């Protein structure tokens, strides 16, 4: 099943964001059993070399989507050539921007993507097939007031295979950064989700916590990216340390209490 067919398959798909450009991180996330992996080249440390390594390490595993550092034609073709299952384009705010993405991402006659030989084409062994069939997915992020305003045209564009909402950037665009549960943000998210449903396009969203991911799952989102490696790692270490320190503190308090009882 190619990435476009996978996106259209039924059921909620749970993924996570990877920002640390090390193969072990990819392997660990894969072992955790996620349905898809989000390799972050925008805010994370991944470039096209380390992202290609991540895709190779995850070969045969869940679909790997790479968020590009920008929407330039150069970034689009270089990251598509690494052989990821799909690209995620940040901060898409108009149909005209999707037109530019399509020209760079699709081979002629649909677009103007230049022809090269790389991992995506099996280093030449799958060249004809890749020219004939678009197996990779184009996912756009709507995360601004302009994007919400133009959501119908963006989502309805033939080149768009799925949408992922960025609630934190959206809250910033609304002038309330980080307040993703404020009515303006919630209403904007609901509007995008409704348009996706009408257009029969998968709709995804980022959730910072497992609790928020559960809420989004109940709301019917098709794709959910929960947490990111650095915050999960930090949170795990903090929780482990807190349990140990808390246990030691309780033990000390018990000993002191017993000592005071013996003295009395």
pLDDT of residue 248: 67
pLDDT of residue 251: 66
CB–CB of 203/13 below 8 Å? no
Extended strands (E) in 143-242: 162-165, 203-207, 223-228
Q: Residue 250 — very low, low, confident or very high, per pLDDT cuts 50/70/90?
A: confident
Query: Does residue 176 have a cis peptide bond before it, meaning omega lies within 30 degrees of 0?
Result: no
Beta bridge partners of 86: 65, 137
Say yes or no to pLDDT of 153 above 80: yes
Q: How far is 46 from 58, CA to CA, in rounded Å?
A: 15
pLDDT of residue 61: 95
Residue partners of 66: CB distance under 8 A and separation at least 6: 38, 39, 40, 41, 46, 51, 55, 79, 82, 84, 86, 87, 88
Mean pLDDT, rounded, for 94-114: 96
Tokens (6 digits) for 51: 């992202």
Helices and strands in the chain: count of H runs, count of E runs: 12, 8
pLDDT of residue 45: 96
Q: Residue 252 — very low, low, confident or very high, per pLDDT cuts 50/70/90?
A: confident
Catalytic residue IDs = 43
10 Å CB burial of residue 113 (0-12, 13-18, 19+) is buried
Q: How far is 120 from 116, CA to CA, in rounded Å?
A: 9
Using one digit for the tens of pLDDT, what is the confidence trace for 229-248?
Answer: 999 999 999 999 999 988 76
pLDDT of residue 75: 97
Q: What angle do CA 47, 51, 53 make, to 5 degrees?
A: 125
Q: How far is 179 from 193, CA to CA, in rounded Å?
A: 19
Torsional class of 133: left (φ above 0), alpha (ψ -120 to 50), beta (otherwise) = beta
Using one digit for the tens of pLDDT, what is the confidence trace for 129-146?
Answer: 988 888 999 999 999 999
Using one digit for the tens of pLDDT, what is the confidence trace for 37-46?
Answer: 999 999 999 9
Share of the chain above pLDDT 90, in %: 88
Say yes or no to pLDDT of 1 above 90: no
CB–CB of 168/35 below 8 Å? no
Global confidence as pTM: 0.91
């Amino acid at each position: 099943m190619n990435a476009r067919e996978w996106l259209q398959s039924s059921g909620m798909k749970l993924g996570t964001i990877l920002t640390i450009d090390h193969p072990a991180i990819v392997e660990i996330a894969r072992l955790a059993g996620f349905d898809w992996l989000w390799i972050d080249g925008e805010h994370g440390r991944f470039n096209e070399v380390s992202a290609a390594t991540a895709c190779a390490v995850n070969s045969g595993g869940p679909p790997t989507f790479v968020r590009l550092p920008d929407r330039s034609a150069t970034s689009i073709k270089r990251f598509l050539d690494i052989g990821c299952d799909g690209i995620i384009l940040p901060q898409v705010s108009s149909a005209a921007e999707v037109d530019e993405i399509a020209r760079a991402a699709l081979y002629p006659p649909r677009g103007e993507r230049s022809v090269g030989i790389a991992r995506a084409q099996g280093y030449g062994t799958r060249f004809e097939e890749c020219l004939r069939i678009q197996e990779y997915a184009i996912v756009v992020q709507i995360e601004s007031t302009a994007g919400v305003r133009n959501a119908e045209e963006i989502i309805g564009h033939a080149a768009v295979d799925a949408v992922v909402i960025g609630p934190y950037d959206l809250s910033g665009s609304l002038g309330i950064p980080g307040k993703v549960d404020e009515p303006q943000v919630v209403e904007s998210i609901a509007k995008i989700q409704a348009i996706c449903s009408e257009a029969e396009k998968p709709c995804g969203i980022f959730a910072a916590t497992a609790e928020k991911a559960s809420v989004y799952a109940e709301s019917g989102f098709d794709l959910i990216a929960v947490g990111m490696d650095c915050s999960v790692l930090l949170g795990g270490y903090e929780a482990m340390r807190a349990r140990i320190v808390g246990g030691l503190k309780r033990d000390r308090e018990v000993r002191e209490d017993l000592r005071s009882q013996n003295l009395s």
